[in-house]
Amino acid sequence: MSGQAVTQTMQWASRIPMVEDKEKSKVAGKIRWTTLPFAGWVPGRKVGMAANDGWCIGIPKASKHQKEAFDFAVWCVTKDKQARFTSEFQVPPTRRSVFDRPDLHQKFIWLPVMKVQLENAYDFPIIPEWSEILEKVGAEIHAGWSGQYPMAKALERSNELVTQLLKERKYPVGTWKGPKLPWEG
């Protein structure tokens, strides 16, 4: 956003509007958005596969206002509200119909690209340990980036820590057999 570096990077969908904000970003309007180029990893896939951690509104079981929270969630995801949030606040929509609006495509060049990428997303595993996994992997990757040890070692350590955690929690680690990985369909 500072305009001081030329780079190719992957971005969380929620970061794109900040980069395109003409009041806050020096590179707004100078960026081009495309899908991830990792399509070759999955035979038959036309665009790269993204990791999708999802967008959601959760209501705690212990909430004393569950009905009000549910009503708020319903209000937030109506077509009109999602279109308004996208148009006025550059919030990535949660409704497919908002991604398909040509008037928003003209205003936000990133919206059609985001739609294609989300259609080719692999959802993070829905397991209770996911936050622990992200914490462990994140710490190791940052250690590699900061030069504490080589990145290859950071990746190896990440794999070891995640494998150990999953084995401790009785997941069948290393038992996959078949011609394709689970996300390859």
d(CA 19, CA 141): 24
Please give the helix or strand (H or E) that residue 123 lies within, else none.
strand 121-123
Nearest to 132 by CA among 87, 103, 155, 165: 165
Please write the tens of the pLDDT for every residue from 56-105.
778 888 989 999 999 998 998 899 999 998 888 888 888 889 999 999 98
Contacts of 37 (CB under 8 A, 6+ apart): 48
* Residues 99 and 93 sit within 8 Å (Cβ to Cβ): yes
- Residue, of 29 and 36, whose pLDDT is higher: 29
